[in-house]
Chain A
Amino acid sequence: MTRKHLTLSHRLLMALGVVSFLFWSVMATLSTRDNIREVNTLYDVHLAHTAKAFLFLMDPDDNTLQSTPSVMPAADIEQLLNTWPDLASRPVPGEAPTAAKATASKIGQRYGASLRYQLWRDDGKLLFRSDNAPTTPISQTLGYSDAPDAQGKGWRSYAVHDNNHRVKIIISEPQQFRGQIEHSMILSAATPMALGLPVLFLLLWFSIWRGLHPLAALSQEITKRAPGNLAPMDVHSVPDEVRPIVIALNGLLERVAQTLDNERRFTDDAAHQLRTPLAVIQTQLYTVRHTLASEPHQQALDQLQGSVARSIRMVNQLLALARLDPQQAPPAFSQVNLTTLSETVCAELATLALQRQQTMELLAEPGLPSVEGNADLLSMLLSNLLDNAIHYTPPGGTIHVLLQPTRQGVTLSVCDDGPGITPDQRDKVQQRFYRLAGQNQPGTGLGLAICKRIAELHHSTLTLAEGLQGHGLTASLWLPTSDVSTPKPSQPPHH
């Protein structure tokens, strides 16, 4: 999972970024190369032009041809050349970029002065040269040539032979000129790229974000779904590319819903099939005990009744646990008035406590806020906790049910002064079918597992601690206050 942070938008941004960058670079390189070639041609033409103009101005006659070689400063030659109208006013033709044009004209101001001039007679005598030109021929061949001078500086030369005067004129121009222009042309091509790339990336990022918006919306819709919502998602509102995913997802949702439904139906059928025979046994037992039983049989019948009651309890708790399975749809939550709920549950179990001469008491702080939860499950939780307390607390003991406001919620606790559970056993007793050693109470070992599961379904934990007066057990659960602060809703009475 080394690439888990590489999101789709990052991949797209990188791919599009690299492609755009390469494309732009190639285009810029090609067009710059073309421009440079054109400028070079232009300069060559210019060089040839200057050579011809120079020859025309010099116009050596026979006398001059016989005289000793003369040397002239290059700057003077330029002034001379500038009087030649055609050359001075000549703009740089063609499609060369403006920047290159500007550079060319700037260089042009001292252009003539930078050149080297040589005029050779056909017999090999140097007739004329500019003061910066050597006394040896700059170029041996006619036409264009490139050669470095004694200092290693590069020069572009042009040599032309004039048949009328039987002379050869050589003009050479520093390579550096063209280098400067090339440099500035490359720079002018690269600058917009350097400045434009971040903008391009920003635009790309925005386009990708816009383009992937349906995906983000879909993922948000899935995240927002209630955990139990297995209804198919809308296929028509998503783009074509995403539709197969949504269709596959809907298929999956349907299968999950079907599985859950099967599971629920199995639990319901099992409930029906397990309960009916037990109910028959219980009803028959009732009749037998009330009609036929003689004293010696009565004890056996009482024990039978106890066993049937225990089996019924076991079946009920197993079914309850099966329904609380994480695979099943989560319970619906609403605002629960814990005071009314506790009152109802306590009333149901108080009869049993009174039979065992126990003192049961409900201590609820007045005006408690309602909590967020499932009333049926919370009733089952309290009922299980109270049932445990009544069974494990010896006759004459005390059982307190406390409702206290705590941390934007309410803590429900059931405390007793019975034998309690040692701290090292407190986690284990919440496991299914775990029973403490040396218990003679007819428990199922499922009560606390059910309570634990109900607590989990309420995103809370069941805490077991010491009970009343330093012994016994306290089981408590914290529940958050419901967000909507509507006045206490009345709780339907429980049967």
Chain B
Amino acid sequence: MKLLIVEDDAMMGASLQAALTNAGFEVHWLLDGESALVALSNEFYRAAVLDITLPGMDGLSLLEHLRASGSTLPVLMLTARDTTRDKVQCFDSGADDFLVKTTDMEELIARLRALIRRAGYVGRISVGELMIDTDTHVATQNGQLLNLSNREFDLLQALMIHADKVVTRHQLEESVFGLSRNSESNALEVHIHHLRQKIGEASLKTVRGVGYMLVKP
């Protein structure tokens, strides 16, 4: 998977390139917005990681140019700024995600993978012995086919995308029932109960009042 990184700080760029290469990405690192814009029109990337502060054209203008040209490339803003104003500016300019530079590398990598997946590149997600294919709607455990309803499949998909993170009840309800959910009903608990019976109790943890977490073995 080819990634574009635009970062003017030499040390930061080099270490990002090293870390992401190590995580299995093919990394193309550029130092300024103008050359990035040229590269973006010539090369095919799966995602881009942009800094805001860049010499010449800054990250936000670059992003706006990119979106104006009709590109739907997943873009993650990685910056040292962290105010709400900065975040809003990024999302308004067309960013898909926002991370502060000091965030854990693991989280950056996980988010990049999630962005690429959401963009429809990876149809298959696997966590431990579980695997789902979002194109064929097939779920397997240890190669054995799991007989899941549509709701249970959506639930498992949401949990697997955020494996090892607690997913709130609201997030799960949204991905299973859409926005027209009835938050007072216990329909979610019923589906979780059924899913547990099918994939086993141990891998699905409950945080009462908060949500659920699929544990990576």
Report A's interface with B, CB cutoff 8 A.
268, 271-273, 275-280, 282-284, 286-287, 290-291, 312, 315-316, 319, 323, 340, 343-344, 346-348, 350-351, 353-354, 360-364, 366, 376, 401, 493, 495
Residues of B within 8 A of A347 (CB): 165-168, 171, 207, 210-211
Q: A343-B170, A351-B166 are known contacts. Are A283 and B209 too (CB-CB below 8 A)?
A: no
B192 vs chain A, min Cβ distance (A) = 15
Q: Complex formed: what's the CA distance from A364 to B170 in Å?
A: 14
Instruction: For A350, give its contact among B98, B166, B169 (CB under 8 Å).
Output: B166
Let me know if A276 and B168 touch, CB within 8 A: no
| Contacting residue for B105 out of A286, A354, A366, CB 8 A | A286
Contact check: which of B102, B205, B210 meets A275 at CB < 8 Å? B102
Give Cα A48–Cα B101 distance, bound, in whole angstroms: 118
Known: A347-B207, A360-B207. A276 touches B105 (CB 8 A): no
Q: Does B22 contact A (CB under 8 A)?
A: yes
B93 at the interface (CB under 8 A from A): no
User: Which residues of B line the A interface, CB within 8 A?
Assistant: 9, 11-12, 15-16, 18-19, 22, 53, 80-84, 97-102, 104-106, 164-171, 184, 205, 207-211, 213
**CB-CB nearest 6 A-B residue pairs:** A362-B209, A279-B101, A283-B15, A286-B105, A350-B166, A347-B166
Contact at A280–B9, with CB atoms within 8 Å? yes
- A351: which of B16, B168, B171, B213 is its contact (CB, 8 Å)? B213
Q: CA separation between A366 and B209, bound complex, in Å?
A: 11
A350 touches B210 (CB 8 A): yes
Chain B residue nearest to A374 in the complex (CB): B84
Q: A346-B207, A360-B208, A361-B207 are in contact. List 15 more A-B contacts (CB 8 A).
A: A275-B101, A279-B101, A282-B104, A290-B22, A323-B83, A343-B169, A347-B167, A347-B171, A350-B211, A354-B207, A360-B207, A360-B210, A361-B209, A362-B210, A366-B184
* A284 and B18 form a contact (CB under 8 A): yes
A280 CB to closest chain B CB (Å) equals 4
Q: What CA separation (Å) do A271 and B85 show in the bound complex?
A: 14
Q: Which residues of A contact B101 (CB under 8 A)?
A: 275-276, 278-279
Residues from chain A with a CB closer than 8 A to the CB of B22 are 286-287, 290-291
List, in ascending order, chain B residues with CB within 8 A of A268's CB: 81, 83
Residues on B with C-beta less than 8 A from A351 are 164-166, 213
Cβ of B16 and Cβ of A401 under 8 Å apart? no
A279 close to B102 (CB less than 8 A): yes
Report which of B53, B82, B99, B211 forms a contact with A343, defined as CB distance below 8 A. Answer: B211
The verdict on A284 contacting B15 (CB below 8 Å), with A354-B205, A495-B97 known, is: yes
Please measure, in the bound complex, the distance between the C-alpha atom of A493 and the C-alpha atom of B207, giving whole angstroms.
Answer: 18
Can you list 16 residue pairs at the A/B interface with Cβ under 8 Å?
A268-B81, A277-B11, A283-B18, A316-B82, A340-B170, A343-B169, A343-B211, A347-B211, A350-B211, A350-B213, A351-B165, A351-B166, A361-B208, A362-B210, A363-B209, A366-B184
Whether B102 pairs with A287 at a CB distance below 8 angstroms is no
Chain B residue nearest in CB terms to A344: B168
Q: A275-B80, A346-B210 are in contact. Are A312 and B102 (CB under 8 A)?
A: yes
The one of B12, B80, B167, B171 in contact with A271, judged by C-beta atoms closer than 8 angstroms, is B80
Q: Chain B's nearest CB lies how many Å from the CB of A376?
A: 5
Select the residue from A291, A350, A362 with max chain B CB neighbours within 10 A. Answer: A350
The answer to whether A287 and B166 touch across the interface, beta carbons within 8 angstroms, is no
CA distance in complex: A493, B171 (Å): 8
Complexed CA–CA distance, A353 and B208 (Å): 12
Q: How distant is the Cα of A280 from the Cα of B167 in the complex, in angstroms?
A: 30
A97 to B104, CA, bound (A): 103
Q: How far apart sit A360 and B207, CA to CA, in the bound complex (Å)?
A: 6
- CB-defined contacts of B211 to chain A, threshold 8 Å: 343, 346-347, 350
C-alpha gap A343/B166 in the complex (Å): 10
Inter-chain contact A282/B84, CB cutoff 8 Å: no
A316 to B102, CA, bound (A): 9
The residue in B171, B208, B209 that gathers the most chain A C-beta atoms within 10 A of its C-beta is B209
Q: Determine if A276 and B210 form an interchain contact, defined as CB atoms under 8 angstroms apart.
A: no
- A303 to B201 CA separation, bound complex (whole angstroms): 35
Q: Which residues of A contact B168 (CB under 8 A)?
A: 343-344, 346-347
- Residues A362 and B208 in contact in the complex (CB < 8 Å), given A276-B9, A276-B12, A351-B165: yes
Give the distance in Å from the alpha carbon of A287 to the alpha carbon of B82 in the complex: 25
Q: Do A282 and B105 touch across chains, with their CB atoms under 8 A apart?
A: yes
Q: Contacts A268-B83, A362-B208 hold; do A283 and B19 have CB atoms under 8 A apart?
A: yes
Residues of B within 8 Å of A282, CB to CB, are 102, 104-105
| Docked-complex contact A348 and B102, CB < 8 angstroms | no
Point out the residues of chain B lying under 8 angstroms from A275, CB to CB.
80, 100-102
Residue of A nearest to B11 (CB): A280
Contacts of B104 in A (CB 8 A): 282
Contact yes or no, A348 B170, CB < 8 A: no
Q: Select one of B9, B15, B207, B208 contacting A287, CB under 8 A.
A: B15
Min distance, Cβ A472 to any Cβ of chain B, angstroms? 18
**Is B81 in contact with A272, judged by CB distance below 8 angstroms?**
yes
Q: Which residues of A contact B82 (CB under 8 A)?
A: 271, 316, 319
**A287, A316, A346: residue with the most chain B Cβ atoms closer than 10 Å:** A287
Smallest beta-carbon distance B173→chain A, Å: 11
Quote the shortest CB–CB distance from B50 to chain A (angstroms): 15
Whether B98 pairs with A495 at a CB distance below 8 angstroms is yes
Minimum C-beta distance from B202 to chain A (A): 13
Q: A346-B210, A495-B97 are in contact. Are A279 and B165 (CB under 8 A)?
A: no
